[in-house]
Amino acid sequence: MGSWAKPFTVAVPDADLELLHKKLELATFPDELQDAGWDYGAPLADIKRLTAYWKDSFDWRKAEKAINELPQFTTDIEVDGFGSLNIHFVHQKSKVENAIPLLFVHGWPGQFLEVRKLLPILTAGSPDHPSFHVVAPSLPGFGFSEAPNKPGFGGFQYAEVVNKLMLSLGYDEYAYQGGDMGHIVGVYATNAYGNRHIKAWHTNMPLYRAPTLFSNPLLFLEMLTTPFNKRMQEQLAPAQRFQTKGRGYFLLQSTKPQTLGYSLADSPVGLLAWIYEKLYESVDNYPFTEDEVLEWISIHWFSRAGPAASPRMYYGLTSGNERELFDGTRWTSTPLGVAFFPGEPARLPKSWVHTIGKVVFQSEHDAGGHFAAFEQPAKLAGDLRKMFGKGGPVYGIVPGKDGYA
SS percent in the chain: helix, strand, coil, step 5: 40, 15, 40
Question: Cα(368)–Cα(52) distance, rounded to whole angstroms?
Answer: 29
**What sign does the CA torsion over 242, 189, 98, 338 have?**
positive
pLDDT at 346: 86
Q: What pLDDT is stored for residue 210 in this prediction?
A: 86
Identify the weakest region by mean pLDDT among 78-92, 122-136, 218-232, 352-366.
218-232
pLDDT 10s digits, 98-156: 999 999 999 999 999 999 999 999 999 999 999 999 999 999 999 999 999 999 999 99
Q: Quick one: pLDDT at residue 163?
A: 98
pLDDT above 90 coverage of the chain, percent = 88
- Average pLDDT on 197-222 reads 90
Give Cα separations from 293 to 63, 64, 276, 297 (angstroms).
Answer: 12, 14, 7, 6
Catalytic residue among 106, 158, 174, 180: 180
Q: For residue range 243-252, what is the model confidence (pLDDT) as tens digits? A: 888 889 999 9
The mean predicted confidence, pLDDT, of the chain is 96
Q: Give the dihedral sign, CA 325/328/331/336.
A: negative
Q: At 135, is the secondary structure helix, strand, or coil?
A: strand
Query: Does 315 qualify as catalytic in the annotation?
Result: yes
Q: Which residues contact residue 373 at a Cβ distance below 8 angstroms, ignoring those fewer than 6 apart?
A: 104, 114, 115, 117, 118, 179, 204, 380
Kindly give, in sequence order, each residue whose CB lies less than 8 Å from that of residue 11, ignoring residues fewer than 6 positions away: 64
In angstroms, the Cα distances linking 88 to 42, 74, 113, 311 are 31, 4, 12, 18
Query: Which residues 6+ apart lie within 8 Å of 259 measured at CB?
Result: 252
The pTM of the full predicted model, rounded to 2 decimals, is 0.96
Q: How confident is the model at residue 236 (pLDDT cuts 50, 70, 90)?
A: confident
- Pick from 161, 200, 196: nearest CA to 181: 161
pLDDT of residue 59: 98
- For this structure, is 354 an active site residue? no
Please state the φ and ψ torsions of residue 366, each to the nearest 5 degrees: -95, -5
Sequence-ordered list of residues with C-beta below 8 angstroms from that of 68, at least 6 positions apart, any chain: 9, 10
Q: Is the pLDDT of residue 402 over 60?
A: yes
Give me the mean pLDDT over the 260-272 stretch.
98
At residue 2, the pLDDT reads: 46
- What pLDDT does 229 receive? 84
Q: Which residue has the higher pLDDT, 48 or 215?
A: 48
pLDDT at 225: 82
pLDDT reported for residue 68: 98
**What is the predicted pLDDT for the residue at 334?**
98
Average pLDDT value for residue range 209-229: 82
pLDDT tens digits, 282-331: 999 999 999 999 999 999 999 999 999 999 999 999 999 999 999 999 99
**Could you say which of 174, 202, 370, 402 is catalytic?**
370
CA angle, corner 371, sides to 319 and 174, nearest 5? 75
**CA dihedral angle for residue 130, residue 376, residue 87, residue 186, rounded to 10 degrees:** 80
Between β-strands 132-137 and 83-92, what pairing exists: parallel, antiparallel or unpaired? antiparallel
Task: Find the mean pLDDT for residues 69-80.
Answer: 98
Q: What is the pLDDT of residues 177-200, one digit of tens each?
A: 999 999 999 999 999 999 999 999
Residue partners of 226: CB distance under 8 A and separation at least 6: 232, 233, 236
Query: What count of Cα atoms within 13 Å lies in the side-chain half-sphere of residue 154?
Result: 18
Longest dimension (CA), the chain: 62
* pLDDT of 17 strictly over 80: yes
> Could you read off the pLDDT of 36-54 as tens digits, one per residue?
999 999 999 999 999 999 9
